[in-house]
Amino acid sequence: MMTDHLCLKTVLLGLVLSLVAGCSRSQEYPNRPITLVVPWAAGGGTDRCSRQMAAHLEQELGEHVNAVNATGGKGVTGHNRGLGARPDGYTLLMATLELSMMHWSGLTDLTYEDCVPLMSINEDYAALFVRHDAPWKTLGELEQAIRDNPGSLKASGTSSGGAWHLALAGWLMAGGFDVDDVVWISSTGSNPSLQELISGGVDMVCCSLPEAAALLEGGKVRTIGVMSPQPVAGYEEVPTFVSQGRDWSLGGWRALVLPPGTPQPVVDKLKTAVRRIVTGETAIVSGGSAAEGTPSIQTFPEFMDAAGFDRTWREGDELQTFFAETDEKFGVLLTSDAMKSVNTERFNSMTWPAVLMGLIGLTLVALVATHFAKGKTPVTDVPETVAKADSTETAQEPISRQLTGRGVLNFALIVGGIVAYCLTVEKVGFPIAAGGLLLVLLLSLRTRVSVGVLVTVATVPLMWQLFAGLLRVPLPRGDWGF
Amino acid sequence: MQAIGQVFAGQTLLVILAAAAYGIFVGAIPGLTATMAVALMVPLTFFLNDVQAVAAIVTTVTCSIFAGDIPATLVRIPGTPASAAYASDSYALTLKGQHERALSISLVFSVIGGLFGTLTLCVAAPQLATFATQFTSYEYFWLYILGLTCAAIVSDESRLKGALALLIGLLFSTVGLGTDYSVPRLTFGSDDLITGINFIPAMIGLFGLSEVLRNALAIGRGDGDAAPLAPPPVESTGEGDPTTEWPGTLQFAVRRKFSLLRSSVIGSVVGMLPGAGADIAAWIAYAVSKRFSRNPEQYGKGSVEGIGDATGANNAALGSAWIPALVFGIPGDSVTAIAIGVLLMKNITPGPDIFDASKDPAQAALVFSIYVTFVLANLILLPLGWAAIRGGNLLVRIPRRILLPLIVLFCVIGSYALNGSYFDVTVMTVMGVFGFILELFGVPLAPIVLGLILGGEVEHKFLQCITKDSSPATFLASPVSIALAVICLALWAAPVAKTLLKGKSNIPT
């Protein structure tokens, strides 16, 4: 017991000291890790830009900047997360053009007006790709083919109603076609679409130039044109739609934004940092190539060029006007009668779930029927050694015999504890919420109080270090900053 | 030659060692997937040179996919989804005190499978890539149907219950805003549900939390709150030192050489198809293993054959996932998607020319260094994996009343860490209670996870197919489609054939 107590005191002292040390840090923004919310999956274009931006920001601000992918719901999830966060400058969002689209299709109320824009860092225009052996060389030839056989060609690139689908639809409408004259095959992104293209599943893919760079360079696909006002830097040989007589352009953008209500000094500080980054005034050490030896220094624009991304940047009023223009363009497209007729589903979205529910019902009926037919639950004969372990594993005995007051209490405390954790953690912070949860559960399972406290005090800071420090997975912080 | 020199440079070896330790560590934490391990590492690769960056990614993935077996075995929470297929088997062995046996088999079979996948990558990447790119939505549709078939037939103890679990998983996968529809489904007005049900927190809840809840109820009955999860090792299996397991494990691997080869081939083939990865490979290998096994009744209750075959396949899939990535720049899985990003950043553009030393010696050397790293990563996994198994040995000795609360905390953080979302924690909790209830009725949990993983894909591919052409005949238009359909049919029909052959224990092949 003596040693127990001594040990406990030392650990507690250590914890208090580390807390004090934590509080004595600079009060000026930023003084703790910053989270950059990325609404798209790891490995994609937005993710790559964001992680590079995070590395530069980190150097510029002197605090960790962690990129977190919050994916799903066609971008709704991430944008909601980023713009709904506490407006203290510790959560940034890499917004994408879906912010100008989602509200038109009624997926969310968020618009570009619900954020504090810092700077747009990139604009990638839609381009049209066909297989290398496709019969059409120019936009004119392709349009003639569509005119001759409307509805026979298939295109893909993103989900139905996604940005690249709208780009294609806008082109068709500008050319006087029906939106359905090219059948859009919904897909989960540019990679699976390009796979479909080279395997012959679709005839053309609409996506940005860097997304298809590898296949383009390998000669597997060709471009018909890019939907930009001017030729794209790095792809000067690709003709624009405008130069081929079709006045249509549409591009995606990525912009760093903050939740509304962020204090002006924080916004200004971040703006200065981001401006320095996009103009190439900052640099991070880059390993370069093993064959060439010495590591080099890379600026953000150098990275964007190397990865094939456009690096047009806009800020202030220019950015606001740009946002407003894109938003209007999408509004016209998404509310047009032609697009509405495409958006009404080809297939009823509830058919498949209904079929599944029907099958589940049938299976349940069959299970009940077999149960009564046999009079009891069928017990398969298994070798004895297996059967012994199995009796604890599948809990064959009736539930009523398993229930004891304590057991039910334990059960309820675990479930209730997790719920309580979720409800309080944003207020009190991870250490207190997790410590409370752990201690309550330890005690409810009849661990001695001293052991319980010791385990809690030892584990929670360790987990904090492990996730927030070592793995840099941001854990929730409360109102008191930890 | 230059490539070997680059890989064996002191600094690169150090990077590999660090990445291996990191990979094991992250893979062993439930909720942190191999993809996440690599994504978290991307900022570090900025500072490494190209060979080191690729070496770090390759090693991290190899080690984390094995390490996912560790929590799956010890506390029945698959560390990565690739371990879900055989989590029940390896955990059953832990309850019998044989966790070291399970884990050393996992380790050895992972390494052999991984080396086979590397061999596939080295020998036939350009040729195989051409095959892989012939897959259109029709072939993928059949591949996913094959995956679902496998999930249904592995639980043939009560086929109805297995089917029920699978259907529940498929139904869960329809929740939210899908690719093909502009309106969310089954969200009941909740904004959170628009995202859908993420299978990682669902998996942690179904397997991990439900087991904690079951144990917590049992503790109330007074039996064994101070007892650890696993009973002390049975005498015949040695004194708790995993080194005594090695001779037995190696003998076992030699005895299972043909099935190991079969699993490795399955893993390599599934792995190189973009959109199918280590997790589906593990399922298919597990189901095929069961079909051809002489002891199919042990599957799901601690079958070392099932563990070995499935874990070999998921590691074999890792190497071949690089095939389409390197040849066409189309990633075979989410990890290689990140890897392509890193390669592009280092001014290396994947493409058929990347293998041609006469065109660009530096790139060809880099590709060669990927092969060398894969071999090294698998070899370094042996000692480090062994150390991790020893560490896990301590875990199962912790009394339950301390271990269970710690597992609860890990379930909470693990499900939160993935997306930084409390909704995911809620999903984990609800699935925990749901899984607990299902297990009371003897419904297997693993098919739910596969239903969740594949449900969206199978519906999406089906819709793609019928948007292209509404005639059903197109589903069987290509030889690959027909072959996959026939395999599905054979897997369903095999038990019937078995009955017709009057209970011969071995299926004629």
Full set of structural domains in chain A with CATH: 27-122+253-343 (3.40.190.150), 124-251 (3.40.190.10), 402-482 (no CATH)
d(CA A53, CA A200) in angstroms, rounded, equals 37
Nearest Cβ partner of B219 from A382, A407, A472?
A: A407
How many residues are listed for chain A in this entry? 482
Q: What is the mean pLDDT of chain B?
A: 83
The pLDDT of residue A395: 43
Structure tokens at A128: 């049209």
Separation between Cα atoms, residue B294 and residue B277, nearest integer Å: 28
Which H or E element spans position B79? none
User: Quick check: A291 contacting B, CB < 8 Å?
Assistant: yes
Q: Which long-range contacts (CB under 8 A, 24 or more apart) does A136-145 make?
A: A136/A224, A138/A224, A138/A225, A138/A239, A138/A244, A139/A224, A139/A225, A139/A239, A139/A241, A139/A244, A139/A245, A139/A246, A140/A244, A140/A245, A142/A204, A142/A224, A143/A175, A143/A177, A143/A246
Q: Does the distance separating the beta carbons of B302 and A378 come in below 8 Å?
A: no
Q: What is the pLDDT of residue A207?
A: 92
pLDDT value, residue B147: 84
What pLDDT was estimated at residue A292? 63
Q: Which helix (H) or strand (E) holds B129?
A: helix B99-132
Q: What is the pLDDT of residues B163-202, one digit of tens each?
A: 899 999 999 999 988 777 777 888 887 878 888 898 889 9
Q: Tell me how far CA of residue B294 lies from CA of A330, A398, B504, B507, in angstroms.
A: 62, 33, 10, 9
Check whether A461 has a pLDDT greater than 60: yes
> According to the model, what pLDDT value does residue B12 have?
87
User: Which residues of chain B have a CB within 8 Å of the CB of A188?
Assistant: 179, 460
Helix (H, G, I), strand (E, B) or coil at B328: helix
Give the residue from B441, B446, B444, B502 showing the smallest Cα distance to A370.
B441
**Per-residue pLDDT at A277:** 95
d(CA A50, CA A68): 9
Give pLDDT tens digits for A93-146: 999 999 988 898 888 888 999 999 999 999 989 999 999 999 999 999 999 999
Q: Residues of chain B with pLDDT > 70: what percent?
A: 89
Q: What is the ipTM of this complex?
A: 0.81
Distances (CA, A) of B398 to A393, B79, B225: 20, 20, 11
Three-state secondary structure call for residue A282? coil
Distance CA B245, CA B93 (A): 14
Per-residue CA distances from B140 to B132, B133, B348 (Å): 11, 11, 29
B301/A contact by beta carbon, under 8 A: yes
Say whether residue B330 is in contact with chain A using an 8 A CB cutoff: yes
Q: Which residues of A touch B366 (CB under 8 A)?
A: 290-291
What are the pLDDT digits (tens) for A305-342? 887 888 889 999 999 999 998 899 888 888 887 777 66
Nearest to B143 by CA among B478, B440, B503: B478
Put simply, the answer to whether A437 touches B408 (Cβ < 8 Å) is yes
Interface probe for B, chosen from A441, A459, A475 (most Cβ of B below 10 Å), is A441
* Residue B462 resides in a domain: yes
Quick check: A52 and B420 CB within 8 A?
no
Confidence check: pLDDT of B203 > 50: yes
Beta-carbon neighbour count of residue A461 at 10 Å?
18
Structure tokens belonging to residue A314 = 């806009």
User: pLDDT at position B236, please?
Assistant: 42
* A64 shares contact with chain B (CB less than 8 Å): no
Cα end-to-end span (Å), chain B: 44
* A463 shares contact with chain B (CB less than 8 Å): yes
Q: Is A151 on the interface with B (CB under 8 A)?
A: no
B180 to A406: CB separation less than 8 angstroms, yes or no: no
Instruction: Note the pLDDT of residue B157.
Output: 59
Paired tokens of B503 = 């209970």
Q: Please indicate, yes or no, if residue B34 is contained in any of the structural domains.
A: yes
Tell me the backbone φ, ψ of residue A288, rounded to 5 degrees: 65, -150
Q: What is the pLDDT of residue B392?
A: 82
CB atoms B328 and A214 under 8 Å: yes
Residue-wise pLDDT tens digits, B47-91: 888 888 889 999 999 999 999 999 999 988 888 888 888 998 999
Three-state DSSP class for residue A98: helix
According to the model, what pLDDT value does residue A15 have?
52
Mean pLDDT for B12-27 is 91
pLDDT at B426: 94
Summarised one tens digit per residue, pLDDT across range A236-265 is 899 999 999 999 988 889 999 999 999 999
The residue type found at B279 is D
Whole-number Å distance between alpha carbons of B448 and B129? 32
Please say if the pLDDT value at position B242 is more than 50. Answer: no
The pLDDT assigned to B168 comes to: 94
Q: Are B259 and B305 in contact (CB under 8 A)?
A: yes
> What residues contact A155, with CB distance under 8 A and at least 6 apart?
A168, A182, A183, A184, A185, A202, A203, A204, A205, A206
Q: Which of A474, A482, A446, A425 is nearest to A35 (CA)?
A: A474
Tokens 């049938």 identify what position? A362
Q: Is residue B237 scored above 60 in pLDDT?
A: no
Does residue B508 form part of some domain? no
Domain contains B509:
no
Chain B residue with minimal CA distance to A471? B40
Alpha-carbon span B85 to B91, nearest angstrom: 12
Residue B436 lies in a domain: yes
User: Distance between CA A154 and CA B94 in Å, rounded?
Assistant: 53
Residue A385: name the closest of B95, B256, B287, B91 by CA.
B95
Chain B stretch 229-268, residues whose beta carbon is closer than 8 A to a beta carbon of chain A: none
**CB distance from B177 to chain A under 8 Å?**
yes
Beta strand A204-208 pairing with A153-156: parallel
3-state secondary structure (DSSP) of residue A156: strand
Average pLDDT of chain A is 83
The minimal CB distance from B174 to the residues A47, A200, A356 is found for: A356
* pLDDT for res A390: 41
Residue A166 has pLDDT above 80, yes or no: yes
- Run of H or E including B301: none
Residue A223 tokens, joined: 């471009």
User: Closest chain A residue to B189 measured between Cα atoms?
Assistant: A107
How many CA atoms does the CB half-sphere of B211 hold within 13 Å? 28
Element housing A318 (H / E): helix A316-335
DSSP single-letter state for residue B192: G
> In the predicted model, what is the mean pLDDT of residues A163-181?
90
- pLDDT score of B303 more than 50: yes
Give the pLDDT score at A160.
82
* Cα dihedral A314, A317, A322, A325 in deg (nearest 10): 180
Question: How far is CA B15 from each of CA B51, B54, B62, rounded to the nearest angstrom?
Answer: 10, 10, 14
DSSP letter (8 states) at residue A32:
S
**Spatial contact of A129 and A222, defined as CB atoms under 8 Å apart:** yes
Q: How far is CA B413 from CA A310, B337, B409, in A?
A: 38, 26, 6
- Give me the residue from B301, B409, B417 closest to A390, CB to CB: B301
- Name residues whose C-beta falls within 8 Å of residue B8's C-beta, 6 or more positions apart in sequence: none
The number of domains in chain B is 1
Neighbours of B422 (CB within 10 A): 18
Q: How far is B241 from chain A (nearest CA, A)?
A: 23
∠ at Cα A129 (A126, A134), nearest 5°? 160
User: Taking chain A, what is the end-to-end CA distance rounded to the nearest angstrom?
Assistant: 32
B506 inside domain: no
* pLDDT for residue A228 is more than 80: yes
Report, as an integer, the average pLDDT of B474-492: 86
Q: Which domain holds residue B167?
A: 2-500
Residue B333 forms part of a structural domain: yes
Percent of chain B having pLDDT more than 90? Answer: 26
Asked if residue B135 lies in contact with residue B480, where contact means CB atoms within 8 angstroms, the answer is yes
Q: What is the pLDDT of residue B256?
A: 87
Per-residue pLDDT band for A76 (boundaries 50, 70, 90) equals confident
More confidently predicted of B375 and A479? B375
Q: Does the pLDDT of residue A38 top 50, yes or no?
A: yes
